Amino acid sequence: MSRKAEVENSSDALKKARRALAILEEQAAGFGKLHIPANLQIELEEKRREVAELEAQGPEFSTNNDNINTDLHTNSSQQKGTTQINVVITGDGNVIGDRSTSQVTKIPAPPSSEPQNQDREAPAWFGNIGLSKNPFEHLTAEEDGDDLLRYRIQPQALRPLERQIRGDETISRWIVFGDEGFGKTALRMRIAQSHYPLKTQDKVLCIVYDAEALNNVLAYANHSLETLKPTHYVDVAYELVRDVLEDAKAFKKSPASDVSARQALNTITQAVLHQGFRYLLCLVDQVDAVEIVEIETHPEKILLFLKPLMRLDQLALSGLAFRYFLPSDLAPLMYAQQKTLHLGRYQIFPLEWTEEDLERLITQRLSTFSKSILNPYTSLGQLCEPGANFDAPIDQALVRLAEGSPRAVVWLANRLIQVHCQAENPPRFIQPATWQQVKVDWRRYGRDQLFGSPAQSEGFGLAGDRIYFQGKEVVLSEKYDALLQCLIRSGDKVCTKEELIQAGWPGERPEGVTEAALAEAVRRMKVELKRMGYDSGWVKTVRGRGYRLQKPQEHSKG
């Protein structure tokens, strides 16, 4: 079937589904909202879902909304690989980092979906339901600013360690790894806020190498990694400390050319101690926002950028401590060079969120912005139409969509409220159709904004638990799907036989599955991939160790 015929068929299906939905809605209207028979309600829900899914399938199928087409056009051009996006700037000027690309492109916010009249209507709605404002309007820690501590929560796993990472007792070294939007900057801000100069009574002086400071470091090195030296970090440290220390006279910079970076940093540290501080705490965050080649395809450049600082850090100067908040993508690379980087000297914490953590995030934000102190909202479910058969308790459904990302939870909850407030007179309760719309929006562009599109990856990629190859979903039988997911998760590292056996035979003892069985399963997986038209040469055997994914040409060249 030609592409045109396919589009026409799908468009017909959408039209038919919409017509059927209109008829059902008319029937339902005859009963009044409270007395719709259960069977009609069921049919209505199913039809709404069908329409939503058809609308989500592609731009061409959606015929009644020019704005949606515009938005989808943006996505499809990304899928064709014509646009690479590093930072997404939404229509309202918010900047969202995207993990996967290098250029900066302005993507217009989807005009049809953005609540143009939110400012006018929303305050009334919030007031009516008892919220002081939209608890999810800020997507990033920077937007939250000082307010963050009013509703910030942390993953439960972090609780026993937060004090140590904050550096209250010891000046040990820490690296916190986390994906984009997982709370690295929030944690960094929290730590900064608990020390001088933000907390004036404290005796630890805290400076932050954030995106701006790190770009200054690079500027000192003439924007070249090749000329970057530890002294460039020291120069910026000098500026940062000078900006916050009250007695700047006591603090004189030694000309960098005259002394080593170690000596210069020691001078700064001693000056800080001389001012009565217990130590100087340096927080390093937003390395992926440094203006060098982007991290997804060249994480080693980030590492090259960091190495001079880590070398300085390891000189064990007394009165100096470092905390790094680094993208998870760097972890495999750093572990591969752990001896060179002396990773053994660092305490390492991976920032991960459980579903319970994310549910607590929703509860805390709603609770903080509830007007009733005694009876705060604790769940989005309390804002939704009662008994309207959302497809699951909404908080859980939302958290599952978010794939462990707190930023995604905030995005989805904010979108839910925004879409609801778009209505002329927003009803008191959020309707199931609104949630359907949010899910469509998430699939259409939200997920890509936050996580980057699997369409943009060159080879196999994962979106949640779905496998994609160059933007096209790959559907394999269960075992092979598990094996391929395991390989994808290993990135360019070797996926060991043990890891694959655990993934492919989850209920069985590893020793119960022979290597021959694994090899046969991998062979069959490759056959299945080939049958579906994919190049099975991507799956490479690493003799004696396991398997890994590698681009076939590189493989053959190698």
Partner 1 sequence: MNRSNERCVTNHSGVWTELIALCLDMLRTLPEHPEIRLLNFWTYRGGGKTTFLHHLKAALTVPEVALVGLWDAAVSEVQQVIQEILCAVEMSSHTKKVVLLDNLDNWLRAGDGESFFEFERQLVLPLLERRDVLLITTAQIPVHQWREYDVRIHQENHLIRALNKAEVTHLTETWALDANWLFEQSLGYLQILCWLQQEPHLSEEALAQRIADYFLSAFSPMVRELAAVAALLPSFDVAVLRDVLPAEEQETPEGLYAVYIDRIRELIAAGLVAWDMRMGAYHFPNATLRRLLARSFQICHRENFTRVHERAMLYYQAEARRPGYLHYTLVSALYHMASFQSAQADGDVGGSCKRWVQDHISLWAGADWPAVLQAWQSGAGDKTVNEELQALLGVEVVDEITQMLTAAQQGMEVTQ
* Of residues 189 and 467, the one with the C-beta less far from partner 1: 189
Report the alpha-carbon distance of residue 498 to residue 501 in Å, rounded: 5
Shortest distance (Å) from residue 121 CB to partner 1:
16
Q: What is the DSSP string of 179-244?
A: -TTSSHHHHHHHHHHTSBTTSTT-SEEEEEE-HHHHHHHHHHTTT-STT--HHHHHHHHHHHHHHH
Q: H-type helices in 296-350, by residue range? A: 299-313, 330-336, 338-341
Shortest distance (Å) from residue 142 CB to partner 1:
17
To the nearest 10 degrees (0 to 180), the angle between helices 299-313 and 230-244 is: 70
* Of residues 276 and 386, the one with the C-beta less far from partner 1: 386
Phi, psi of 329 (to 5 degrees): -60, -25
- The DSSP secondary-structure symbol of 389 reads -
Shortest distance (Å) from residue 199 CB to partner 1:
11
Shortest distance (Å) from residue 362 CB to partner 1:
8
Residues at the site binding partner 1, with contacts judged by CB under 8 A: 32-34, 38-39, 42, 149-150, 152-154, 159-160, 162, 190, 359, 363-364, 367-368, 372-376, 378-379, 381-382, 385-396, 427-429, 478
Chain centre distance of CA 27: 43
Contact 135, 122 (CB under 8 A): no
Report the alpha-carbon distance of residue 521 to residue 140 in Å, rounded: 43
Report the alpha-carbon distance of residue 27 to residue 10 in Å, rounded: 26
Report the alpha-carbon distance of residue 124 to residue 340 in Å, rounded: 59
Residue with tokens 């069908």: 50
Shortest distance (Å) from residue 42 CB to partner 1:
6
* Of residues 317 and 383, the one with the C-beta less far from partner 1: 383
Shortest distance (Å) from residue 380 CB to partner 1:
9
Pairing of strands 279-284, 204-209: parallel
Phi, psi of 546 (to 5 degrees): 165, -135
Shortest distance (Å) from residue 386 CB to partner 1:
3
Report the alpha-carbon distance of residue 550 to residue 538 in Å, rounded: 5
Report the alpha-carbon distance of residue 486 to residue 431 in Å, rounded: 38
* Of residues 99 and 365, the one with the C-beta less far from partner 1: 365
* Of residues 165 and 236, the one with the C-beta less far from partner 1: 165
Chain centre distance of CA 36: 41
Shortest distance (Å) from residue 328 CB to partner 1:
23
* Of residues 39 and 82, the one with the C-beta less far from partner 1: 39
How many helices (H) and strands (E) the chain has is answered by: 23, 14
* Of residues 395 and 441, the one with the C-beta less far from partner 1: 395
* Of residues 158 and 419, the one with the C-beta less far from partner 1: 158
Shortest distance (Å) from residue 50 CB to partner 1:
14
Shortest distance (Å) from residue 475 CB to partner 1:
13
Q: What is the DSSP string of 92-155?
A: TS-EEE-SS--SEEEPPP-TTTS-TTHHHHHHHHHHHHTBSS-TT---SHHHHGGGHHHH----
* Of residues 392 and 532, the one with the C-beta less far from partner 1: 392
* Of residues 294 and 395, the one with the C-beta less far from partner 1: 395
Contact 488, 465 (CB under 8 A): no
* Of residues 232 and 439, the one with the C-beta less far from partner 1: 439
Using alpha carbons, select from 366, 354, 434, 427 the residue that is nearest to residue 396.
Answer: 354
Shortest distance (Å) from residue 119 CB to partner 1:
23
